[in-house]
Amino acid sequence: MLLAVSFYLIVTTLPVTVFYSLSLSFPEGSAAVTDFNADPTWRRHLVYINIRTLVEEIGLSHYACNFYIYLATGRVFRRELRRLLCRINGSEMSTMITTW
């Protein structure tokens, strides 16, 4: 389970690191340009920004997917989650509400 989470973390964050290290290779163009599509420097920079944004979003997916990786690979996690959910749906739900 921990190996799956660790490998997923590495696979999703390594491309983000690579794209951050490439940021100096794609500088912004001149500020005096009015048509960004006509300037090749701005075009390269904007393509880089779009791809970097996509890679960052995929890199952030490990925060949301950890629960599902634990659910798919962890037998003890599934058992404890089932026990917790049964306890909440059972008789202890009324005591939880009254204690709040």
Strands (E), 20-92: none
| 53-94 pLDDT, tens digit each | 999 999 999 889 999 999 999 999 999 999 988 887 765 555
Q: What is the pLDDT of residue 27?
A: 85
Q: Is-contact 8 69, C-beta < 8 A?
A: yes
**Burial annotation 90-99 (CB, 10 A radius, 16+ → b, else e):** eeeeeeeeee
> Cα–Cα distance between 71 and 86 in angstroms, integer?
16
Task: Count the neighbouring beta carbons within 10 Å of the beta carbon of residue 58.
Answer: 14
> DSSP state, 34?
S
Q: What is the pLDDT of residue 99?
A: 47
Q: What is the pLDDT of residue 40?
A: 86
Q: What is the pLDDT of residue 100?
A: 43
| 5-55 pLDDT, tens digit each | 999 999 999 999 999 999 888 888 777 777 777 888 888 999 999 999 999
> Cα–Cα distance between 84 and 91 in angstroms, integer?
12
